[in-house]
Structures are given as C-alpha cells and as structure tokens.
Structure 1
Amino acid sequence: MDNEEVLALFDRQMRETSPPDGPVARVERAGRVVRQVGPDPVWNGVLWSDLDEECADREIAEQVRHFGSLGREFEWKLYAHDTPGDLGERLLTAGFTAEPAEALMVAESKDQMGAVELPEGVELVPVTDPAGVALMTAVHEQAFGEDASRLARRMELQLAEAPDTLVAVVAMADGAPVCAARMELIPGTEFAGLWGGGTAEAWRGKGIYRALVSYRARIAAERGYRFLQVDASDQSAPILHRLGFARLSTTTPYVYQP
C-alpha cells in the first residue's frame, strides 16, 4: 500500500467529493470548503478545505456565520496535512475548541480478514433494530464515559432509512453487552469507516476488539470496499498498528458552539 497515494485517495473520496453519510444529511461545496449539514442527529461540520493564508480567516468566518444562522454546533475536522499550516491556531482564535487528536489509520480490508477468535462464552450479535442499538449504546457509554443518546438516534434513523450503509455488532457475554462497534459504508467510495470499538473495562485485553475488526473487515471486503479507515485514539492506535494498519495523518476535531 502506497501511503501517499492512499491518503490522496482518502482526501478525494471521503472529504472533497464525499456523499452524505446519512439519509437526511446533505453535502455542500461553499467556496473553498466542503461541509455537511443536516438536522439533529446529523453530524454537522467541515469535511475538506483548500485554504491559504490570504483566505483562511475569511472562510472560517463564513462557516461560523453559516452554521450560526442555523443555530447548530459544528465541527471543523482538521487534518495535519491541511493548509495553511497554522489553520488550527486560526480556528482557536475564531472561537473553536480543540478536542483530542486522533490518528488516521488505514489498512486493506483483505489483509484484516483473519479468523474471528472470541473468549469462551462471548458471542457476536448483529445490531438490526432499536433493541440492538440500546445494547450497543449501553456498552458505548460504559466504555467511553459519555452520553450516547445522539448516536442512538442516528443509528436508529440509519437502520430505518439506509440499512445498507451501516454494519453494527455487539459482543455479548452472559446476556450482557461487553463490546460494540460499527462500520459506516458510504456508496461510491473505497473506504469503510470503523467506529466505536468500545470494550467494557473488565473485558479489555481479551482480543474482542481485534475480533470485531476482523468481523467488519470480512463484510467490507465482501461488499467491495478496498480499505478500512479508523480515526484511532491513543488507546486503539497501538492495537491497530500491530494488526498492520498504517498511520497516514492526524485528525483533530475543532468544535464551535453557536
């Protein structure tokens, strides 16, 4: 895998020309910025930009004005290779708040299709309805310590309106959810996005996270998605590196509250 070529392909397919990531979202090109807009629970934010030192502050102000007119919080998803080099500092000056950076990691789907090996007593259950979503968000809240109600609303909408774009699975042990993960499939692209992967603390280090990567990789490959893409936290990045994922860049969410 040529990392530079894959990063350029990712920028083009998943950012500059990306379709909406849900049934009620829309993607707009506004000047030198590509953004996604939609009602709750849609993710609102800037996907891609082509800025220089002369236009950056003006374009930032325009996005603040636009989303402010809608009364919506939004995120500027900044990558380390975006220009100008001080775009992050400019966003902070404009009133954005930086959240923890994550590693953009990519691997070929076919290389991650190993056997799904689970601890004794653990089974994988596909999420296909609101009851499954409730199990998934319960373990998500336990693993990450954050409210998952918005994620639940988005998943329920996606399962109802565009089920082919979402694969979600829960690992169950003794009737309780212990790990959960999902995969976003955007038609017309070669990248399947791996999200979640949260494991209850007592079940970490037992190979469940790795098993869920293999489970999703097989489905991605069967559906024609060449690459797996992850925005990896400091906790998951070492695991993914051992599995053969390459680190292509760093992404930092900059959030603006209207």
Structure 2
Amino acid sequence: MTQTAEYLDLYDQQLRTDAETPSALHVETLSTLRLVTFSGGQGFITYPHFDGTEATPLVALVGPALEYFKAQPQITSVEFKTRGHDVAPGLDEQLKAHGFTAQEPESIMIGPMESLVSSAPLPEGVELRKISSPGDVVAMSSMLFDAFEEPYDPRIAQSLSARLATNDGMELWVASLDGRMVGAGRLEPVRGTEFAGLWGGAVLKEFRGQGIYRALTSARARSALDSGYRYVHSDSTEYSRPILERNGMLKVSTTTPYEWTRP
C-alpha cells in the first residue's frame, strides 16, 4: 500500500464518523448519512466512504436529506460535503437539481504532524498567540473574511465562541503585526483518533509571502504534538496546498462542499 493510500484509509476509518462533527447540536441518521445541526441555523450532511456497493446509492438520499432540513425553519443553510474518491455517479447533477451550489474544490491533505514544525524564526515584528475572548474571536473572524474576500457573517464568531465554551480542545491562533491581526487559523484535535485538524488558516493578502502562514502552521502543530496527536489533516485551498506539500503532507483526495440556502 502506498503512503497516499494508507493515509486515505486512515482518513476514511477515523475521520468520517462522529469525530467529524464534535460541535454538533444534534445528529440524525438517514440510511448511512449523518444529518448534523450546528448552532446559527446551519445544517451539514456527511457520510462514510461510498464504494458503489451500497444498497441505497448516495444520489437517492439527496432529496430526503434536504427535506429533513427544510422542515426545520431555524435552518437557513445546509452544506453537503462530497469527496472525490467516493463512488457516487450522478451526485453533482442531483445536488444541483435540488438547489445546491458547488463551491471551490479543496484538497484533502494528510501527513505526519512533526513535519509541520518549523525551526525558522518568526518574521520580524510578528507575534503569535492563542485567543479565547469574545472580542478577539470577532476580530479574528472579521479579518479571516477579509482574507478570504467574503462578506462577513457574524454567525461564525458566535459559533466559535460557543465551541470555546465547551472546552472540546479547539484552539484559535492569531498572528499580529504592530498590534494588527494579519493571519489566523484553528487547531481541532479529533478526540479518540490519531488526528488533529488545521482549519481556517489564512493571511491578509498584503502580508502573504513573509512566512506568517508557515509560523501559524508550526505553532498549531507544536500544540497538537504536545497533546499526543500523530497525524494532521486539512482541507486546503490552492494557496495553502503547496505550502503544506513542502512540509511533508500529501494530497489524498479532494472535497467539494455544496451549499443550499433557504430562499
């Protein structure tokens, strides 16, 4: 078995379970699908690996899964998380027929945690720290929306603050330069597994290329290793993928989120 295949097998076994959604308010099952409700009126649909031998194909579950969320007026948006290595012919067409819109594909990256620890010094003037106060969480969220060039959604900061209150292990790290937040990212240990995830990592456009993203990645990796986590996983944009590859992580598959928004 190749290293990529070994990592992908670990991903399917350890991460496509309840470990995938530790902050869920409620989880309902529909055949092999997990219908997850998060705070802020967000729905999420995920499932174990499909190899094409299932009695009920994935495409047949799209409609019933969406109807489950439509029946709950507090749900305003739903994400259907797809993976490129699943065998699900016709899934793209079926999702679009039900009003889902495909977002940008991302690379599923996996590697040894220690490969992300850098010995390079911090960029001059840059300070790294963990945050937890509501004010810092709002400031971090606002900065990340700017970095991703997306409109600000206050529900994200509310959700992160609610997560921090549960003490589920999530850590929020920020990079500041001259007192201004210029980059950030989350560390999400997956309890009961060998994995911790790196999520939401980004640096403001005008501060990229200075080693800030690398420093944020290294800080989170050190924290995960201190807690005994062996592997790192991340869904990465095309900006961060090459950085992670240079640090020993491998692209094992792709994931494409499909979004539905209540009219």
Residue in 2 that maps onto 1:62: 64
The answer for the alignment partner of 1:39 in structure 2 is 39
Higher mean Cα deviation, 126-135 or 59-68?
Answer: 126-135
Identity of aligned residues (%): 34
Q: Which amino acid aligns with 1:46?
A: I
Greater CA drift, 6-15 or 151-160: 6-15
Q: Which amino acid aligns with 2:163?
A: Q
- Say which of 124, 148, 151 aligns to 2:128: 124
For residue 21 of structure 2, what is the aligned residue in structure 1?
Answer: 20
When normalised by structure 1's length, the TM-score is: 0.90
Q: What is the aligned counterpart of 1:159 among 161, 164, 173? A: 164
Instruction: Report the AA paired with residue 21 of structure 2.
Output: P
Aligned residues: 255
Residue 154 (structure 2) aligned to one of 146, 149, 154: 149
Matched, 1:48 2:47: yes
Q: In the superposition, relative to structure 1, how do residues 44 and 190 fare at CA in structure 2: closer, same or farther (>3 Å)?
A: farther
Question: Do the aligned partners of residues 130 and 64 (structure 1) sit closer, same or farther apart at CA in structure 2, a change above 3 Å counting?
Answer: same
Confirm whether residue 223 of structure 1 aligns to residue 224 of structure 2: no
- The C-alpha deviation readout for 1:80-107, integer Å capped at 9, x for no partner, is 0112233222212232110110000111
1:148 and 1:140 map into 2 onto residues whose CA distance is 11
Q: Distance in 1 between matches of 2:147 and 2:198?
A: 16
Q: Report the more deviating stretch, 125-134 or 1-10.
A: 1-10
User: Does residue 185 of structure 1 match 2:189?
Assistant: yes
Point out the more displaced range, 82-91 or 67-76. 82-91
Partners of 1:183 and 1:241 in 2: how far apart?
A: 18
Partner amino acid for 1:108?
P
Change over 3 Å in CA distance of 1:129–1:87 after alignment to 2? same
In 2, Cα distance between equivalents of 1:251 and 1:59: 19
C-alpha change, 1:120 and 1:2, in structure 2 (3 Å) is: same
Q: Distance in 2 between matches of 1:81 and 1:199?
A: 30
1:130-151: CA deviations, max 9, x gaps?
1221331232122112214222
Provide the residue aligned with 2:7 in structure 1: 6
Whether 1:96 aligns to 2:97 is no
Preserved contact between residue 20 and residue 26 of structure 1 (Cα < 8 Å): no
Superposition misfits of 4+ residues, deviation over 6 angstroms? none
Question: Structure 1 residue 203: deviation in Å?
Answer: 1.1
Aligned AA (1:29): T
SS of residue matched to 1:210: helix
The 8 Å contact of residues 78 and 88 in structure 1, kept in 2 or not, is answered as: no
Question: Aligned-residue CA RMSD in angstroms?
Answer: 2.1
Compute the displacement of 1:53 (Å).
8.8
How many Å separate the matches in 1 of 2:58 and 2:186? Answer: 35
Q: 1:19 to 1:250 in 2, by over 3 A?
A: closer
Is 1:136–1:169's contact at 8 Å kept on the other side of the alignment?
A: no
Following the alignment from structure 1 to structure 2, what is the Cα–Cα distance between the partners of residues 67 and 116?
Answer: 47
Shift of 1:54: 5.8
Structure 2 unaligned blocks of 5 or more: none
Structure 1: how far apart are the matches of 2:189 and 2:26? 16
* Match of residue 236, structure 2, among 223, 232, 237: 232
Structure 1 unaligned segments of length 5 or more: list them. none
Contact 1:117/1:207 (<8 A) preserved: no
Query: Which residue pairs with 1:110 in the alignment?
Result: 114
